[in-house]
Amino acid sequence: MASESSTIARQLRLQQWADDIRECNARPAGMTVDQWCNEHGIKKAAYYWRLRTVREACLDTVKSSGNISENGDVLTMSEKTEFVELKKCPVRYDTATAVIHIGPASIELPEGLSDEMLFRIMKAVAHVK
């Protein structure tokens, strides 16, 4: 029982830290991480420790899913590969913080995009020819 509750408590902490990291990443332009941390009562060292811990937890999850090797290389297409139809959308470059062009296709990445979603997008476009 103690192990299960510890696991749940850890997951809740990681979720809260991930939420804080997303909020910090979406801070107003011109605001530094130091300023954001001061406003939220978090020490800068604690913020970066939490950031590293959340990233490591995400990497562990990706490794356990079989999509990345132990040395960090992204693996090629697996049996889990799914194909989805991409619909053409109007170009809105003014709302994107980054745009990826692959042939005639463009992918707009908004500010505050999670690391997980960026990883999924990069994994999907890695197989585009």
Q: Where are the domains of the chain?
A: 2-64, 76-129
Helix (H, G, I), strand (E, B) or coil at 87: coil
Percent of the chain with pLDDT over 90: 17
Which of 17, 122, 20, 119 has its CA nearest to residue 62?
Answer: 119
Task: Check whether 74 has a pLDDT greater than 70.
Answer: no
- DSSP 8-state assignment for residue 108: E
- DSSP 8-state assignment for residue 126: T
Q: What is the pLDDT of residues 83-127, one digit of tens each?
A: 666 565 555 545 667 777 776 677 777 777 788 877 777 777 766
